[in-house]
Amino acid sequence: MSLARASPNCGPRRDGLRPHLIVLHYTAMASCAAAVERLCDPDAQVSAHYFVTRTGEVLQLVEEADRAWHAGAGSWGGRGDVNSRSIGIELDNDGASPFAEPLMAALERLLPGIMGRWGIPPEGVIGHSDMAPGRKSDPGRLFDWRRLARAGLSVWPSPEAEVPEVDDAAFVRLAAQFGYDPRYGTDLVLEAFRQRFRPQAEEPLGPADMAAIADLSARYPVDRVAGNA
Q: What is the pLDDT of residues 41-53, one digit of tens each?
A: 999 999 999 999 9
User: How far, in Å, CA of 39 to CA of 43, rounded?
Assistant: 10
% pLDDT > 90, the chain = 92
Quote the Cα angle for 11-15-17, to 5°: 80
Choose among 153, 151, 150, 52: nearest CA to 99. 52
Domain boundaries, the chain: 10-150, 168-221
Query: Among the options 90, 101, 162, 202, which is catalytic?
Result: 90
Average pLDDT over residues 84-104: 97
pTM: 0.96
Specify the fold of 10-150.
Lysozyme-like (3.40.80)
Distance of CA 148 to the CA centre of its chain: 12
Query: Is residue 162 annotated as a catalytic residue, yes or no?
Result: no
